[in-house]
Every structure is written in structure tokens, then in C-alpha cells.
Structure 1
Amino acid sequence: MTHDPGRAGEQRRDLASALKDLRRASGLSGERLAVRCGMSQSKISRIENGRVLPSVVDVQQILSGLGVDDDLARELLALASVANAEYEDVRSSVRRGLHLRQRELAALEAGATHIRYFLPAMPSGLLQTPEYMRTAMSPPVDPADGDVSQAISLKLGRQAVLYDQDKNFDFLLTESAVRWRLCEPLVMATQLDRLVSLSHLPNVTIGIVPLSAQVADAPFHTFTVYGAKLVTIELFTGRLVLRDPKDIDHYRALFDFFRVESVDGDPARSMLGRWADEFRRAA
């Protein structure tokens, strides 16, 4: 069986159907299987009917309750892992409309109370100034054909969520992300000033991992953890969404690992201010 994150919806249906067929073949009722798995009968029913997406742990419990052989269990666990992931390539996002992506992100931010952003490449859209944002959304290689102006307007509108005191935002940036010369020096200086300003919000933490820190792992890619619900991973060619609790726990632990080597508060503001002054002198 081929596991393709781009077919996650279809594979969710395959998984639900396979679990239902296995239970029926075993002769167990949904109620008896629920007892064996330590789940409710209603959850078993919702999983088999495709109304609830089971985590990898859920599938492991069901397969153990059914006494499935190791080879089949590995196949279905692999399917469960992919079913808990979604992938959308950049071109698909552009075809649907860049503005729709901004509305999706706004919905994710509205539905979470604690969001962690790991940013090894550049500041998140929530932190960007309009000038920096326009450059970031107009890459010279394979540029997007969508309505960039409308997307920028919506992205700037999303920034209001930072002032919602019922939410907490942790932004962790590498020094490289902050100092990468994406724009002209004065635009870069203004962008760093923006980071300093936002760092004073009581519900916003902006941490910097300096190049001088010795870190025993590499910052491979940008990711965002939305509470305990899901993780999004940004790639050059698209976005991967993970929903399995094990994946979410892994990325929360990874965020904490890098945060140990970061600085925030006044030390971070001091570094940002110094770098902003360097850009102003360069201008």
C-alpha cells in the first residue's frame, strides 16, 4: 500500500473501513471491542463510521483488542499515521486563493489559547511589518500568482489576535531568521523595531536563539504548535499538518529543547535593538 499525505482524506476512509471489517470478521460487537480497548462503544462507532479520526494510539488499542497479526498491524498503523497528516502544496494554495489560506490561519489562531512558533528562517506573518511582508510574499523563484495585496491585507488583520489577552503566544526565532537580509536595510531595521515593540505585550514572548549558543540539533524547518490540537510544518513547496498526539508531543518537546538555549525579555530586546541600529547604519 502506498501512503501519500496528499490522499489523507481518502486514506482516512480506508482506515475506518478496514477497522470495521476487521471487527466484523473477528465476530466481536462494538461494545465488546470497546471493553477490550478501554474505549467507549460510541467512540468505536464514530471511528468506524469515519466521524472521528483515530490517533495512532487509538488504532494500536483497537488492533490489540482484535488480536491482529504484526504484519497487518504495521500496515494499518502506517496508514493511521498518514491519515493524521495533510499536505497542501503551494500551487494548490495559490489556485484556491491566497486569501483563503489567511482565513484558515485566522481560524486556527482563534481556536487555540496557546500557540508556539518556531521560526528558524524568518519572522511569522503575525510579527511582520507591511513592507517586510510584501517582500516575503513575492519570492523571485516560482512567485505566487495569487492576489498578494488581498492576502497582505488579511494577514495584517490577523495581527489583532496578538492583543487578545486570553491567548498566549511564544515566538522562538534564530538569530539567522532575524538578521537575514530579506529587504533593504531600513525595512529590516523597522522589522526588528516591530519585534521589540511586540515583545512588551504581556501575553507575547519573543525568544532569540543566538548564533553563539551551542545547540545539539539543527533547526530544520519552521513549525507551529496550536495547543494540543495540531502542528503545521512549513516547507518550500507547501505545508504539512499533523494531528496525531504523538507528533504534537514531539514538536512541543522540540520547541522546549530549542527554547532552553534562547534569550527573551530585556536581553533579547537589547540584541534586537543593536541589530536594528546596525541596519540603520548600513542604510
Structure 2
Amino acid sequence: MTLHPEQLGRSKQELAATLKGLRKRAGLSGARLAMRCNMSQSKISRIENGKTPANPVDVEQILRALDAPPDVLARVAELVRLAHTEWQDLRSLRRRGLQYKQQELAGLEASTVEFRYFLLSMITGLLSTPEYIRASLAHLDGDQSGLIARKSSRQEVLYDTRKRFTFLLSEMALRWPLISPPAMAMQLDRIVSVSRLPNVRIGVIPLRGIMPVAPMDTFTVYDTSLVTIETTSGVLVIRDQRDVAMHVEAFATMEGYALFGGGAREQIERWSDDFRRSV
């Protein structure tokens, strides 16, 4: 399935209208369909009016009760996936104010227990020094001191031992010279320090050997309920459980290529020394 950002805003309403139309064509009342699906009539009504998002299990029950043909099943499956996908384009985020995105992320971090970060080309804000954060925002106009402070304050979540973090960083993410060599050395030193927290695992993927799987995106998995994928032009938010499971599996594959513990720290420290020697 190809995802077109302009479709995502309409998908929930289209899914609701499609399910309602299928029920009517089947000649069933909402009450009768609810009985067949073992749901309440009010839930059927909320789904058909777009007030309650229809999850894949609910949709499957409804379609089975309506004896929908295969072509309808395929179309509705696509709508379900779109309905559980959100596109946040960078231009809109900037217009709204990126500080609101930081509030959204802080809320998501507060409600999540297990985090999986796959970092392909840059270091995430939770691991970043203030100088690295400042450089990552240099393309924005105006004074970004407030945004830098918010991103830095979110790092407190790392010290909540009820939560578990795994960060997988590619060699490119760790060695890309976003800031000066001495500052990059300090940035890598910070990651070594964070790696010693009891609830944090830092994995390093050196560019060596053969890795037949080539990841395409930077992504974060929150528990097993949501994935965010970062692109140049925005962020894709995915809630469809099939897509979430696919990213959990991809993450596990990349873990197999990573160094952890003392091996990861030794590798990061070597790269940190490389930066210091390059001055």
C-alpha cells in the first residue's frame, strides 16, 4: 500500500462512512449488526459516525458479520491502516510552534514504559548535549533557546527506573560531525555516561562485516502500540498493530548487529578519541 499524506486526514471519516454504507446495503439495522458482532449498539453508532476509531479487530468482526466480499475486505483493510497513520509535516509543525511538539513527546514519554530508538543518521535529543541540540535546530529562524531548554528537560525521563530504553545508533549517527570535533567528543562522552544507567541499553552498529538488512529510516517504537518515523519533511505516526510489529521485528534484527555494554563503550570512546586527535 502506498501512503499519500493527503489521504491520511480523510481516512477515518471514509472508513466510518464505508462501514455504515456496507451495513445499510446488507439491510441490517445498527442494533442487529451489534448483536451479530457482540458489541453494543452505541459502539456501532460511534464507529459509523467517526467518533470512536475503529480498530482492526472491530473492523474484522463487522466485516465478518456483513459477509463482505474479498475486494471490499482489501479496500477496508487499506482504510484501517490509513486511519491509524498520521502525517505531521514539518511546515505545519513550525507554524504551530515546535514547542508544542516537545509537549506532545513529553506526554508520550510519560505514558510509555519501553522505548526502542533506532538512530540512523543523528543522535536523538534524549542523548544530546545542549550544543548538539542547538546545532540540530540551526536551520530554524529566530531564538531557539526555549526549544533547546524543553528538549534538554525531557532527558529527565532517562532517570525514571520504571522505564526501559534501548538506543541503537549506527556508526554514521555517532560520527557525523554536526558540531566541532571537541564538541563531538563531549557528545560521545555523554552517551557513554548514559549507557551506565541501569535502565538504559546503548547499542552501537559499526560499519563493518556484512549486514544484509539495510534500514531506511530513523524510528522510535513506544511500547508495542505506536511508532514514529522521522523523514526530512516530517514525522509519520503509525498505530496499526501490523506495522508496529514490523518495526519491532526490524529493531530486533538490527540489535543482532550491535555492540552492547563494554564493547559499545569501548567503540564510542575510540571514536571520541578520534575527534579529539583531529583538532
Look up the match of 1:70: 70
Aligned to 2:259: 263
Task: Give me the whole-angstrom Cα distance separating, in 1, the residues matched to 2:7 and 2:160.
Answer: 36
* CA distance 1:103–1:32, change in 2 (3 Å): same
271-280 vs 146-155, which moves further? 146-155
Contact 1:54/1:80, CA 8 A, preserved across alignment: yes
Q: Report the TM-score when normalising by structure 2.
A: 0.92
Three-state SS of the structure 2 residue aligned to 1:223 is strand
CA distance in 1 between counterparts of 2:3 and 2:42 reads 28
Match of 1:125 in 2: 125
Alpha-carbon distance in structure 1 between the residues aligned to 2:80 and 2:275: 49
Deviation at 1:89, TM superposition (A): 1.2
Structure-to-structure mapping, 1:174-189, within 5 angstroms: 174-189=170-185
Q: Residue 169 of structure 1 is aligned with which of 160, 165, 171?
A: 165
Residues 42 and 246 of structure 1: is their aligned pair in 2 closer, same or farther, counting only changes over 3 Å?
A: farther
One-letter amino acid of the structure 2 residue matched with residue 238 of structure 1: G
Paired residue type of 2:255: R
Q: Which residue identity lines up with residue 53 of structure 1 in the other structure? A: P
Please report how far the alpha carbon of residue 202 of structure 1 lies from its aligned counterpart in structure 2 after TM superposition.
0.6
CA apart distance, 1:254: 0.7
Q: In the TM superposition, what is the alpha-carbon distance from 1:73 to its structure 2 partner?
A: 2.6
CA displacement, residues 82-129 of structure 1 (integer Å, 9 cap, x when unaligned): 111111111111111011111111111111111110001111110000
Residue range with higher mean Cα deviation, 76-85 or 41-50: 41-50
What's the counterpart of residue 96 of structure 1? Answer: 96
Which residue is equivalent to 1:18? 18
The answer to whether the 8 Å contact 1:5/1:82 transfers is no
Q: Distance in 2 between matches of 1:244 and 1:231?
A: 9
Q: Give 1:204 shift.
A: 0.7
Q: What's the CA shift for 1:149?
A: 1.9
User: Would you say the 8 A contact 1:115–1:227 is kept in 2?
Assistant: yes
Is 2:153 aligned against 1:157? Answer: yes
TM-score by length of 1: 0.91
Q: Secondary structure at the match of 1:277?
A: helix
CA RMSD of aligned residues (A): 2.0
The 5 A counterparts of 1:103-122 are 103-122=103-122
1:241 is matched with 237
Between stretches 25-34 and 81-90, larger displacement belongs to 25-34
Instruction: Show the 5 A alignment for 1:213-224.
Output: 213-224=209-220
> What is the deviation of 1:54?
2.1
Cα displacement (A) at 1:61: 3.5
Secondary structure of 1:263's partner?
coil
Corresponding residue SS for 2:212: coil
**1:38 Cα deviation from its structure 2 partner:** 6.2
- Asked if 2 retains the 8 angstrom alpha-carbon contact of 1:85 and 1:240, the reply is yes
State the distance in 2 between where 1:235 and 1:3 align.
14
Report how far residue 187 of structure 1 moved. Answer: 0.8
* Structure 1 residue matching 2:78: 3-state secondary structure: helix
Match of 1:200 among 172, 196, 203: 196
CA distance in 2, matches of 1:110, 1:6: 30
Secondary structure, aligned partner of 1:225? strand
Q: Between the two proteins, what is the percent identity of the paired residues? A: 49
